[in-house]
């Protein structure tokens, strides 16, 4: 699928603010794909579609999680986690994207997972550092992302976990598994 077609599909699903975020993730993911030798076209499409389900009603997302046998424990954690796996499903069934690497990059863009692929890491980090993001610590991750993608990912996860701890929020097990698997493999 061409960029303009993908963007037109996604624009209908998002607010203007979220669409601008998506354009930032797209540009950042393309840059990181070139920098680290990933498939640039797949990075572009995964980034364009990553927040496709962000504004679906919670009842619809819950129904899809149950009907499609997605991990049930998602329902006990923050609803913010749902749009990633539900997005992968809807991007396949509604937008016709079949490529499993792209779908996995969408599926794991919020929690990550153990042993992430290069494409999954690129979308996760691009989502975190795109130019519109302004939270504390983002500049450090931006710099790390140009030197060592795994180190950028670890820092982003540390920041996210710390943020969740401070807010007394549940931490989804995959978020911890992502962090542990990176710490285990880092040089």
128 in Cβ contact with 141 (< 8 Å): yes
179 in Cβ contact with 157 (< 8 Å): yes
Choosing among Fe ion, ligand DGI, none, which partner's interface includes residue 78 (Cβ < 5 to 8 Å by kind)? ligand DGI
**Residue 107 Cβ, how far from Fe ion at the closest point, in Å?**
11
Q: Per CB under 6 A, does 80 bind ligand DGI? A: yes
24 in Cβ contact with 36 (< 8 Å): no
**Residue 68 Cβ, how far from ligand DGI at the closest point, in Å?**
19
Q: Per CB under 6 A, does 183 bind ligand DGI? A: no
Q: Per CB under 6 A, does 175 bind ligand DGI? A: yes
- Selected from 172, 178, 179, 182, the binder of ligand DGI by CB under 6 A is 172
Q: Which is nearer to ligand DGI, 9 or 37 (CB)?
A: 9
Enumerate residues 139-158 that contact ligand DGI by CB under 6 A.
none
Q: Per CB under 6 A, does 160 bind ligand DGI? A: yes
- Residue 180's nearest CA partner among 85, 82, 111 is 111
Give the binding site for Fe ion (CB under 5 A).
51, 127
Q: Which residue has the tokens 């509604």?
A: 94
Tokens at 4, concatenated: 């303009």
- Residue 161's nearest CA partner among 141, 178, 144 is 178
């Amino acid at each position: 699928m061409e960029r303009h077609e993908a963007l037109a599909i996604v624009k209908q699903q998002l607010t203007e603010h979220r669409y601008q975020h998506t354009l930032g993730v797209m540009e950042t993911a393309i840059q990181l794909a070139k920098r680290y030798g990933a498939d640039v076209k797949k990075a572009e499409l995964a980034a364009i579609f990553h927040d496709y389900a962000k504004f679906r009603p919670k009842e619809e997302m819950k129904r899809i999680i149950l009907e499609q046998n997605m991990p049930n424990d998602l329902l006990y954690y923050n609803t913010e986690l749902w749009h990633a796996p539900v997005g992968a499903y809807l991007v396949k069934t509604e937008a016709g994207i079949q490529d499993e690497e792209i779908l996995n990059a969408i599926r794991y863009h919020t929690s990550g997972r153990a042993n992430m692929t290069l494409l999954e890491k690129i979308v996760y980090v691009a989502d975190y550092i795109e130019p519109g993001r302004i939270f504390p610590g983002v500049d450090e991750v931006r710099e790390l992302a140009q030197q060592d993608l795994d180190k950028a990912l670890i820092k982003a996860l540390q920041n996210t976990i710390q943020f969740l701890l401070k807010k007394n929020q549940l931490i989804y097990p995959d978020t911890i598994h992502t962090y542990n698997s990176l710490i285990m493999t880092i040089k």
